Structure 1
């Protein structure tokens, strides 16, 4: 990537929220294996880094895939930092922008096979703290601090005008012990007080919410 602004080269003609109707079929991506340079420190999983941005005020509904751009892929600690260091921090992004970091082969969409039966923990953040929280969350996921095996699908940061959101997506919404462990780890890595209340939402619930009215704001 030439510079951090390459991440923002995306279409501005989408009128959808991050969680909005998807018109295309979701299928498992057939991605080539990421080459690992000698001496690099391999992560347990390979990941894709995505960017999306919604242009407020436009009414036309567009294909969600057209607004979701893969910035890059990485499989080692060194590849992650090389990519991350060239990207704008969330606090530098324009409103209605989102970063998504998901395991390779999983698209940040409700309909993806890995996400269909899952859900997400949602954290609302006051302005000014999102970049620090996002970096801590990324490092916790890449460092396998959640200790829930393959349950974590990815993480999302959503920048909005009045507040920001981060979310952790997992595969199995019905596994209460796993979702509780994710919640507790999330509080710990973000240094939240023990009594902080977080919101868990299944992707099935999110889809029903969208069908019954405006799509929810957080990713």
Structure 2
């Protein structure tokens, strides 16, 4: 903020008569202002634990998305529809966000909460996600809030014990059911995906007969592209029709 005030002060301090000198001065001040804005933006993005707070192993970002069922969306419009809620770096910062958020069970329509490591977008195409996949669990209505809380607390607490494999988690609220999923980086690593599955069963206290599906993001994209035109356009609407969990 001080940088911006300094730039404004510089603008008012110039008192030159020659147009050329004025132009040079303004160009230099414009560059300085842009540089200060960039630096200010970088400072705003840097999230660190506060004094005496308990740091998490990774920073995480909450996202929210909502859409109109049946309306086709491209990957570009889907990305634009995802709204970033905020990023946190400590246990205390997490609870400050979470305590003010609506619980999944109270959401309406086709709505989604995403919690991903900072720098990873909740999209198949993100570099951290493109070679990975997700475990999918479909829930009857009324269970989403409790399961979502248990899932994200286990993720933030590093209970999955798979190194840097976990990318994030999603809860998708639908009309007849709710869906939760956890995304990991490497779909081909069967030992890792099996450990994530077993940990998921434990932290959610799932009954033995609960159906769990693992789907690679590559397969999700293929399904969308072969059942929809034009090629390359994949929207959440078709994912729901195909019973594919992408969000």
The alignment partner of 1:158 has SS state of strand
Aligned to 1:33: 46
Asked whether 1:135 is paired with 2:149, we answer yes
Aligned to 1:216: 239
Deviations 1:120-145 (A, max 9, x none): 00000000110000000010000000
Aligned to 1:84: 98
Aligned to 1:165: 179
The alignment partner of 1:210 has SS state of helix
Q: Residues 48 and 90 of structure 2 are in contact (CA less than 8 Å); yes or no, is this contact kept in structure 1? A: no
1:44 pairs with one of 34, 43, 57 = 57
- For structure 1, the 5+ residue unaligned runs are 1-29
Q: TM-score, normalised by structure 2?
A: 0.74
The alignment partner of 1:63 has SS state of helix
- Matches of 1:60 and 1:151, distance apart in 2: 29
Aligned to 2:22: none
- Matches of 1:103 and 1:138, distance apart in 2: 11
Q: CA 1:80/1:69 → structure 2, altered by over 3 Å: closer, same or farther? A: same
Deviations 1:189-215 (A, max 9, x none): 000123433000000000001112263
Instruction: Return the structure number with greater relative CO, CA threshold 8 A, min gap 6.
Output: 1
RMSD: 1.6
List structure 1 segments (4+ residues) > 3 angstroms apart after TM superposition.
57-62
Q: CA 1:202/1:60 → structure 2, altered by over 3 Å: closer, same or farther? A: closer
Q: CA 1:60/1:135 → structure 2, altered by over 3 Å: closer, same or farther? A: closer
Deviation at 1:43, TM superposition (A): 0.4
Deviation at 1:59, TM superposition (A): 4.8
Deviation at 1:95, TM superposition (A): 1.6
- For structure 2, the 5+ residue unaligned runs are 1-41, 229-237
Q: CA 1:192/1:39 → structure 2, altered by over 3 Å: closer, same or farther? A: same
Structure with the greater alpha carbon radius of gyration: 2
The alignment partner of 1:148 has SS state of coil
Structure whose residues are more often helix by fraction? 2
